[in-house]
Structure 1
Amino acid sequence: MPKSKRLMELMMTVNRKRRFKVQELADEFGVSKRTILRDLQELSELGVPLYSEVGPHGGYQVVRERVLPPIAFTEEEAVAMFFAVHALRHYRSLPFEAESASALSKFYLHMPGDVRDRIDGMKNRVDFITPMRRGDAPCLAVLLDAAVRQQVLSIVYATKEEGERRRLIQPVRIYANNGLWYCTAYCFLRSGYRVFRCDRIREAARDDSGMEPLVLGDMRLSRHEAAELREPVRLRVELSRAGVQRCEAELWLAPMLDMREDGSGFIDRDVDGGDIPFYADFFIGLGGEAAVAGPEALREAIRAKLSEMLLRYG
């Protein structure tokens, strides 16, 4: 086997293994221990972070922040990867902010000059619009790690009604919508699944109170699936074609829509009665593209808000 090919396969092998011994690699590649030691030295010089442990149970190990082996991209794949990361630039906070910037820089700097010129031209012709939000979400990486590891977190969460309050949650997933980050989690205070705005999470750290995490397995809950109705009321709304399009743009609302053949639609679902002020503001914003038929409490809330607006602009 040529040395260059052996080094490439050796890099993939050591990245795949948690720990290994020189003799194991020598047997696997059919070379001497001395050859493997020289190859490992070359991999270390190329940036693969190896360290050795002495003793009868020692060996080599790759540190956690290991370097992935080189991957050959076509020009189209490289451009696609560049813009996949470039599309995130409107978000003030990302789970891997520094790493995303580093990856984008590597893609750009290591491309041939003509490919960079092509990207520069495309950046002025294509964009991924996301609202620029002022609030930071500094705990995204902690929330994501807890969701993957199924850990309980102690957070400080701020709301208009209660101010800042400490809670215990077990994150399920995080997602971005309309420029904001959200975290679906089991809330031990409310004994149910809730959706938290990540920019309202002031602090997040692994809980040390001894609360046992739930066995969530591969559960992946959306906002609609996670919401547990405390005060269920029946939401009934008629929507024009334009109203349907506006509602389809809302991640939390889209699963509730029913479409007709002419493009119009309607909503006929149970929702949480505690969210009536929110629904009132939302459907007022749709103007004549939505007609709320129920519940009556929502219609009354809309009338009250419109009356306030008439007084303000009267």
Structure 2
Amino acid sequence: MQKRIDTMKDRIVFWNPNRPKAVEHLNALLDAAIEQSVMTIHYEGTAVGTKRSIQPIGLYSWNGFWYCPAYCFKRQAFRLFRADRIARAEKTDVEQARNLPYESVHSWIQTSESGCKNPVRLQAELTRTGTSKAMSDLDLLKIVDIHKNGSGSINAQIPRTEIDYFADLLWNLGAEAAVIEPREIKLRLKQKAAELLKRYS
């Protein structure tokens, strides 16, 4: 058995991509989660970067990325942040720490999708390729239904404040996704397509 284990060590590798920015802030985010203190971060999302005050719940790694669920004082709601998109992070006393309802990352994962404020219905059809691509994104993975033939569909409630965010996620799937609703996301995708066409015309 020992010989088998030694052989396995040369055959199995757990690899995480090297993302210096993520590593740079992991300790600070973890300290804030343990102490339940507030941090100011400069977050580079899918669009324009923003400055936010957050109170981290904890950290977890998934699909090669580090994620930090936290209470966002700007949105006054819980949000999920990718550590490698945090350009700067520092402690702050601008906002007072709250008593969060989550005692651990596990409890957040179990209950984070139980409610959705000001919801919008998101419906889309995905090809087999689109489904495969969507399954590599944490926010899409949770709402994609896979069909027997390998294609997929989305029929879920999303926060109205996150329409642009989900539009960008679906844009990354290209022609492998067809949005049925909401109208706002369809218009956003048409706008991005027009901008791309103009650039290459």
- Assess same fold via TM > 0.5: yes
Residues paired across the two proteins, number: 196
CA apart distance, 1:79: 5.6
- 1:269 partnered with 2:156: yes
Tell me what 2:112 maps to.
Answer: 225
- Higher CA-based Rg: 1
Amino acid at match of 2:195: E
| Alignment counterpart, residue 305 of structure 1, candidates 192, 195, 198 | 192
Determine if contact 1:236/1:269 at 8 Å carries over to the other structure.
Answer: yes
Which has the larger share of helix? 1
Determine if contact 1:152/1:168 at 8 Å carries over to the other structure.
Answer: no
Q: 1:168 to 1:152 in 2, by over 3 A?
A: farther
Q: 1:261 to 1:211 in 2, by over 3 A?
A: closer
Normalising by the residue count of structure 2, what TM-score does the alignment of the two structures yield? 0.76
Which has the larger share of strand? 2
- 1:142 partnered with 2:70: no
CA apart distance, 1:163: 4.0
Aligned identity (percent) is 30
Determine if contact 2:43/2:88 at 8 Å carries over to the other structure.
Answer: no
What are the equivalent positions in structure 2 for 1:12-91 lying under 5 Å apart?
Answer: 74-78=2-6, 87-88=15-16, 90-91=17-18
Structure 1: stretches of 5+ with no match in the other structure: 1-72, 94-134
**Cα-to-partner distance string for 1:136-170 (whole Å, 9 max, x where unaligned):** 442212323444x3x222322114657434x241x
1:139 aligns to what SS in structure 2?
A: helix
Tell me what 1:158 maps to.
Answer: 42
| Alignment counterpart, residue 183 of structure 1, candidates 59, 64, 68 | 68
| Alignment counterpart, residue 173 of structure 1, candidates 44, 58, 67 | 58
Tell me what 2:19 maps to.
Answer: 92
| Alignment counterpart, residue 202 of structure 1, candidates 61, 64, 88 | 88
Normalising by the residue count of structure 1, what TM-score does the alignment of the two structures yield? 0.52
CA apart distance, 1:189: 4.9
Whole-angstrom CA distance in 2 between matches of 1:173 and 1:192: 16
1:153 aligns to what SS in structure 2?
A: coil
Tell me what 1:43 maps to.
Answer: none
CA apart distance, 1:203: 2.7
